[in-house]
Amino acid sequence: DDQFVEKVCDLVKERATFVHELWDHAWFIFKTPEEYDQKTMRRSWKEQTPRIMKELYEVLSDITDFTSVNTEKVVRKWIEEKDYGVGQVMNAFRLCIVGEALPIFQKLLENDPANSNLRYYIGVCYYHTNNYNASKEYLTIASENTSEKYKDSVFEKNAPQDVFSYLEFIENIELKN
């Protein structure tokens, strides 16, 4: 709807010089990425990243005031307490969500971080890094709330039907091993 588009434009307008650049900075909100940026993947995804992403997911799940200002404050405090680097956490999480290096707080807006759509995205991210146990954990929970009318948007609370395909792929991989 028009109000939603207006809100998205407000979030990215500082990054754009011209109107036609708005899409470059906001496409991921309206459309699921088809592939991950391989350069960012190599640079941002390390052996400890799946564990850190799971911890971050738990931190986000506990937030009750999910405004971008409060969420950023809580996440930055957690990053400092854990002695992680901001880039170490945020670049990997951005990759999990959309495969692009755009600010995570703009992508999530005011959404509930514990929704099945977010679990799906994290599960897919784990899947593409061959961490099938973590992927299965997130995808299984996400599969409990799917929608046949899924909208490719970070504002969707349900997981897409694709979640079942990923779970089947993981099951086949487990059977082969």
Q: What is the pLDDT of residues 3-33, one digit of tens each?
A: 767 777 776 777 778 888 888 777 666 665 5
Per-residue 3-state assignment (H helix, E strand, C coil) for the chain: CHHHHHHHHHHHHHHCCCHHHHHHHHHHHHCCCCCCCHHHHHHHCCCCHHHHHHHHHHHHHCCCCCCHHHHHHHHHHHHHHHCCCHHHHHHHHHHHHCCCCCCHHHHHCCCCCCCHHHHHHHHHHHHHCCCHHHHHHHHHHHCCCECCCCCCCCCCCCECCHHHHHHHHHHHHHHHC
| Contact (Cβ atoms closer than 8 angstroms) between residue 120 and residue 159 | yes
Choosing from 70, 90, 111, the residue where a domain stops is 111
Tell whether 152 and 169 lie within a shared domain.
yes
What pLDDT does residue 58 have?
81
Spatial CA neighbour of 113 closest among 151, 83, 75, 149: 75
What's the domain count of the chain? 3
Tell whether 62 and 14 lie within a shared domain.
no
Tell whether 145 and 167 lie within a shared domain.
yes
Position 42 pLDDT exceeds 80: no
Tell whether 41 and 101 lie within a shared domain.
yes
What pLDDT does residue 131 have?
76
Tell whether 125 and 175 lie within a shared domain.
yes
Tell whether 90 and 42 lie within a shared domain.
yes
Choosing from 111, 129, 160, the residue where a domain stops is 111
- Rounded-to-integer distance, Cα 13 and Cα 23, Å: 10
Tell whether 102 and 74 lie within a shared domain.
yes
What pLDDT does residue 144 have?
93
Tell whether 12 and 48 lie within a shared domain.
no
Tell whether 61 and 99 lie within a shared domain.
yes
Q: What is the pLDDT of residues 144-161, one digit of tens each?
A: 989 888 775 545 788 888
Tell whether 119 and 172 lie within a shared domain.
yes
Structural domain boundaries enclosing 14: 1-30
Tell whether 106 and 122 lie within a shared domain.
no
Provide the pLDDT confidence category of residue 43 given band limits of 50, 70 and 90.
Answer: low
Position 122 pLDDT exceeds 90: no
- Rounded-to-integer distance, Cα 157 and Cα 154, Å: 8
Tell whether 46 and 26 lie within a shared domain.
no
What pLDDT does residue 101 have?
31
Q: What is the pLDDT of residues 66-120, one digit of tens each?
A: 665 677 788 889 999 999 988 788 777 766 665 543 334 334 434 555 678 777 8
